[in-house]
Structure 1
Amino acid sequence: MFSERRYRLKLTTAQAAQCEEFGNICRAVWNTALDQRRRYRERGAWMNYNEQAGQLADAKTEHDWLKTAPSHILQQTLKDLERACKDHGTFRVKWRGKQRWNPSFRFPMGKLIEVERLNKRWGRVKLPKLGWVHFRMTCQLGGAVRSATVSRDGSDWFVSFLVDDGEQTPEQHAMPGTGVGIDRGVAVAVATSDGKLIDRDFISSGEVKRYRRLQQQLSRQRCGSANRRKTLESMRRIKRRERDRRADFCSQVAAELTDRNALVALEDLRTRSMISSASGSVEEHGRNVAQKSGLNRAILDKGWHKLELALRNAARCTGSEIVKAPAAYTSQTCAVCRNVDSENRNSQAVFRCTGCGHTAHADVNAAKNVLAAGRAQPVETSVLAGL
């Protein structure tokens, strides 16, 4: 089983400059290769990885700056581009702009990567053309390194190891027959069918105020100035802490739910469609543009999609089955008598059935309906949904 281990690097000034240069070269290769693919597609032709890799080797003889970066990270950039084009379409793949793309590159050959632990806090890794690089070793690798990805987040650099830990997914969960339904919301992040409401704040009120002050400060600073760069780094640090807390929350919730349940049922929500842009003409999007923008922010803040990914990742270790159930009418259906009525939900939190009088928290009632729908899914559909 493959797992990820992410650590913060401690680069020297020369190594940081090298990483920045490697990232810029990979960005240039990505943009050039994407432009070539688009031009070919406009003529009705195709361009694949093998052809572009051969052209890259020829380009190195004419452009010495391409020789600065290791060959395999440039080849990996072309492989990533080919996969992105196959998954999303050539004309939907985004350009990598210098201002809005954080430099990153991957060393795909694990046999060229050496990792040593120096003491309780620090380790070091030997990467091609970078040499020995120190990093904050917060936990053991726990397996053989298959690849390493170096990326920048704000002013800090990180390394992510892809590790083969030797574990196998269990054929059966330790507690077969158990199950839980999950309702994802904006007021409460997670409501389970057994009555639990799980939520937390990912950013403090003080950080919100500080971020707003930094935004105001940024609007008064000149583009390209050193002070503007410092302000942007401060803003990115706040956002990174928020992202880390959200990821930690999703991982903890996923681990707890998959440990105790052989079946985890989720609503089949298309998050990307739900958070589509609220701007545009009134005819296209209606008049409640401000409300839609607020809903989009709330959905993104609670990390709906990140929770789903965390559940699928945790299920590999426990053998849990992840099922996606239809979301239609789960919030309007009584979990006791199955009465469907739009009047059943009196408010965001209160559910009162107009048929039998059953009263419960609205999100918990919806989670019970999700579990019932998940158990009713055919076996083949359930297995495919968990992959």
Structure 2
Amino acid sequence: MTVQQQALKDFHQAMSHFFASTHRRPTWRKAGGHEGFRIVAVKPGDVRRVSRRVGQVKIPKVGWVRFRWSRAVPDGVKSFRVTRDRAGRWHVAFAAIPNPIPAPGSGEVVGVDRGVAVAAALSTGDLLRVPGLRETERARLARLLRQLARAQRGSKRRARVKAAIARLKARETDRRKDWIEKTSTDLARRFDLFGVEDLNIRGMTRSAQGLVEAPGHNVAQKAGLNRGILAAGWGALVRRLEHKAPGRVIKIDPRNTSRTCNACGHIAGESRKSQAVFSCVACGIRVNADVNAACNIRDTAAGHAVAARGGPPLGWPVNHEPQHDLPLTG
């Protein structure tokens, strides 16, 4: 099937889903975004390896196209998609569902608290941060944004500046995706069960600009918070965990997880002294705030697992008590 035929078939399927009220109406593609096409009915000989780092894929009406062999192509793939990102790079992705990562069988439950300064804090005390742009790269990005503001619309100079900005943004995105893949794989191999907060990320990152009649407040601060949440990869981390460890991710109510002392159970907003410090007003324990929240998430997830299984999780004692092994802060 040619690219044009497949595009018409995809559009027909999208409209069928819309009329069945299962999906939204398909919209016009924005220029420069989602560039690419899909090829189905791939034959066994349409993908071949040329060398250790180079492969070739056969595209109808085009012929053999070389690509970087970054990983092994699974047997029996039926389709692939060729895309072009805003940085001008072409990618080929083969449709294949990998096998889930088996649980280690230790019965260990871990709580994951997601934040902006610390992307993921574990109940074990580990603080995981997403690698972003370096200081020199951020300075260059700021210069390019100033140049973009001064460039005339439709000029070649503006196009060159936009391409340079897209390359920097793509570099940041690649690092975040790489971190998410490695972190989710490491967690799936180390722990049996994961407790995460059930967050409405789309609602949390909604713009506060408001309307002309009712303008929003602190719009710039809210926009900065939205960028921080999206840059931390909250949704992608949990989504990849659910893919790699299906049935082992428990989402809990996020209420009071950051205000509850994991040592004594006292709930008070005054205990959260800052972004990183939790000092309980009842028992006086002083711990990392993100790790304290992660331990509360872990204990709640463990309780849900006990209720679901009718007994303690594998490897846990019957009279399990919360683990108060939080690292004290200075």
- Report the counterpart of residue 356 of structure 1 in structure 2: 283
Whichever residue aligns with residue 298 of structure 2, its letter is L
TM-score using structure 2 length:
0.84
After superposition, the Cα gap between the structure-2 partners of 1:298 and 1:82, relative to the gap in structure 1 and judged at 3 Å, is farther
TM-score using structure 1 length:
0.73
Q: Distance in 2 between matches of 1:104 and 1:184?
A: 33
After superposition, the Cα gap between the structure-2 partners of 1:288 and 1:282, relative to the gap in structure 1 and judged at 3 Å, is farther
Please state if 1:120 is matched with 2:52.
Answer: yes
Q: Structure 1 regions of 5+ residues with no counterpart?
A: 1-66, 381-387
Q: Structure 2 regions of 5+ residues with no counterpart?
A: 310-330
Please state if 1:133 is matched with 2:65.
Answer: yes
- Report the counterpart of residue 331 of structure 1 in structure 2: 258
Deviation at 1:376, TM superposition (A): 2.3
Please state if 1:366 is matched with 2:289.
Answer: no
Deviation at 1:163, TM superposition (A): 2.5
Q: Choose the corresponding residue for 1:256, options 186, 196, 211.
A: 186
Query: How much is the aligned-residue C-alpha RMSD, in angstroms?
Result: 2.5
After superposition, the Cα gap between the structure-2 partners of 1:372 and 1:282, relative to the gap in structure 1 and judged at 3 Å, is farther
Q: Choose the corresponding residue for 2:118, options 166, 183, 188.
A: 188
Q: Distance in 1 between matches of 2:138 and 2:112?
A: 29
- Spell out, residue by residue over 1:303-322, the C-alpha distance to the aligned partner (whole angstroms, 9 max, x if none): 11111112112215xxx601
Contact (CA 8 Å) 2:148, 2:158: kept in 1 or not?
yes
Whichever residue aligns with residue 321 of structure 1, its letter is R
Q: What is the 5 A alignment of 1:306-321?
A: 306-316=236-246, 321=248
Q: Distance in 1 between matches of 2:137 and 2:15?
A: 37
Deviation at 1:286, TM superposition (A): 4.9
Q: Which SS does the other structure have where 1:148 is aligned?
A: strand
Please state if 1:213 is matched with 2:143.
Answer: yes
- Report the counterpart of residue 21 of structure 1 in structure 2: none
Q: Which SS does the other structure have where 1:125 is aligned?
A: strand
Q: Distance in 2 between matches of 1:175 and 1:263?
A: 10
Contact (CA 8 Å) 2:44, 2:76: kept in 1 or not?
no
Q: Distance in 2 between matches of 1:328 and 1:250?
A: 25
When you count helix as a share of all residues, which structure comes out higher? 1
Moved more, 304-313 or 371-380: 371-380
Q: Distance in 1 between matches of 2:52 and 2:130?
A: 31
Q: What is the 5 A alignment of 1:1-387?
A: 69-80=3-14, 82-83=16-17, 86-90=21-25, 93-99=26-32, 101-111=33-43, 114-153=46-85, 154-163=87-96, 167=99, 169=100, 173-281=103-211, 286-316=216-246, 321-377=248-304, 378-379=307-308
Deviation at 1:81, TM superposition (A): 5.2
After superposition, the Cα gap between the structure-2 partners of 1:282 and 1:325, relative to the gap in structure 1 and judged at 3 Å, is farther
- Spell out, residue by residue over 1:38-59, the C-alpha distance to the aligned partner (whole angstroms, 9 max, x if none): xxxxxxxxxxxxxxxxxxxxxx
- Spell out, residue by residue over 1:223-248, the C-alpha distance to the aligned partner (whole angstroms, 9 max, x if none): 33333222221111111110010011
Q: Distance in 2 between matches of 1:110 and 1:278?
A: 47
Q: Distance in 2 between matches of 1:292 and 1:206?
A: 26
- Spell out, residue by residue over 1:298-338, the C-alpha distance to the aligned partner (whole angstroms, 9 max, x if none): 1111111111112112215xxx6011011000000011211
Q: Distance in 1 between matches of 2:22 and 2:174?
A: 27
Count of equivalent residues: 305
- Give structure 1 regions of 4+ aligned residues with deviation exceeding 6 angstroms: none
Q: Which SS does the other structure have where 1:155 is aligned?
A: coil
